């Protein structure tokens, strides 16, 4: 005898079918550290496998250091940057995007973000100022001292080269800095103390730079063979009184400028018709000159050196024509 029983089987929705699922468990992102705040970094999309009408919402969890760095829109899943990135402070970030259904079933997506470098850091010198000493025995191949600067940026952005500031022509002629090591050399022995400006510049685009002063002290005695740059000048007659004739510049035998604290026009040469500015060496007329009365003037000019403790006076006979 056969019996027939009709059984009804109902297929119910399993837990896995109503749990939000992302296309992948982990994504990796790369962004430059100079991207603007509020940039959309990623749009998270989660789904459930059933045809239910469950509404999915999103949230974000991160370590304490990144809690205020990223955000996710609750309904769209847009992940945005909330504050500026700084590769030098943190080159890597990790956070998790959560997706929930109405009944609070949750799925998750790990986001790994690498911060790429930009040239946003200037070179920094190891100390605020440096000191070198120059002696008569110093040769062009003898290092005086060295400077050092570092740049926390990566690659070319962090590669540093050194050079002398172009603001001091005399320094460019007398000193040299190795562009890669920062070692400073003197091309010749020079009297007097002076301050160089060393510039450190990186190779980024655009480059960034900083500078540091280098005090060079010297025990080299000044040369006594000083002279003015030119021994003759001409001036037209009948110009108004206090017309500028020219300016004296005392130079050493190597054509570098001699440091001078003051100029003086001596009593035995031209004081009635000319005067000299004690600070600048500029010579002007005191009267209207007349060629028929006098066609040549000889001026005796003295200059005092700037070197501390020096009492060297240089006397130059200068002839003026008009």
167-191 pLDDT tens trace: 766 778 889 999 999 999 998 877 7
Given a cut of 50, is residue 261 above it in pLDDT? yes
56-85 pLDDT tens trace: 999 999 988 888 999 999 999 999 999 999
For the chain, the average pLDDT equals 84
Token couple for 214: 């280098």
Token couple for 166: 């172009």
pLDDT (mean) for 265-276: 75
Token couple for 281: 């060496």
pLDDT of residue 133: 93
Beta-bridge partner residues of 276: 283
- Give the residue with greater pLDDT, 149 vs 253: 149
206-247 pLDDT tens trace: 999 999 999 999 888 765 455 555 567 888 888 998 998 888
Instruction: Tell me the domains of the chain and their CATH numbers.
Output: 15-116 (2.60.40.60), 124-218 (2.60.40.60), 227-321 (2.60.40.60)
Rounded to two decimals, the pTM is 0.60
What is the rounded (10 degree) CA torsion for 304, 306, 310, 312?
Answer: -30
Which of 21-25, 52-56, 230-234 reaches the highest mean pLDDT? Answer: 21-25
pLDDT (mean) for 147-154: 96
Residues 6 or more apart whose CB falls under 8 angstroms from that of 123 comprise 149, 150, 151, 160, 200, 201, 202, 208, 209, 210
CA dist 170 and 229 (Å) reads 15
Q: Which pLDDT band holds residue 279 (cuts at 50, 70, 90)?
A: confident
Residues 6 or more apart whose CB falls under 8 angstroms from that of 277 comprise 263, 283, 284
CA dist 296 and 317 (Å) reads 13
DSSP string, 2-45: ---------PPPPHHHHS-B-S-SEEEEEEETTPPTT-EEEE--
CA dist 144 and 286 (Å) reads 48
């Amino acid at each position: 005898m056969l019996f027939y029983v009709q059984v009804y089987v109902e297929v119910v929705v399993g837990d896995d079918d109503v749990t939000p699922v992302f296309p992948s468990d982990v994504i990796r992102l790369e962004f430059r550290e100079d991207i603007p705040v509020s940039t959309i970094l990623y749009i998270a999309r989660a789904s459930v496998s059933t045809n239910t009408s469950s509404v999915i919402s999103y949230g974000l969890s991160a370590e304490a250091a990144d809690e205020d760095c990223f955000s996710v829109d609750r309904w769209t899943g847009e992940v945005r940057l909330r504050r500026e990135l700084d590769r030098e402070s943190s080159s890597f970030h990790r956070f998790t995007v959560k997706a929930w259904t109405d009944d609070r079933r949750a799925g998750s997506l790990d986001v790994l973000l690498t911060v790429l470098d930009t040239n946003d850091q200037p070179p920094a010198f190891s100390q605020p100022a440096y000191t070198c000493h120059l002696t008569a025995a110093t040769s062009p191949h003898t290092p005086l001292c060295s400077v050092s600067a570092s740049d926390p940026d990566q690659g070319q952005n962090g590669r540093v080269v050194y050079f002398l500031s172009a603001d001091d022509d005399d320094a460019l002629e007398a000193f040299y800095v190795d562009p890669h090591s920062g070692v400073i050399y003197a091309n010749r022995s020079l009297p007097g103390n002076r301050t160089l400006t060393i510039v450190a510049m990186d190779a980024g685009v655009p480059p960034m730079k900083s500078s540091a002063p280098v005090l060079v002290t010297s025990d080299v005695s000044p040369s006594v063979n000083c002279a003015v740059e030119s021994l003759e000048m001409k001036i037209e007659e009948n110009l108004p009184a206090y017309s500028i004739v020219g300016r004296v510049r005392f130079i050493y035998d190597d054509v570098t400028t001699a440091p001078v604290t003051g100029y003086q026009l001596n009593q035995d040469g031209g004081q009635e018709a000319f005067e000299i500015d004690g600070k600048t060496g500029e010579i002007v007329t005191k009267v209207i000159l007349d060629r028929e009365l006098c066609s040549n003037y000889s001026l005796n000019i003295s200059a005092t050196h700037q070197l501390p403790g020096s009492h060297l006076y240089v006397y130059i006979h200068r002839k003026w024509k008009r």
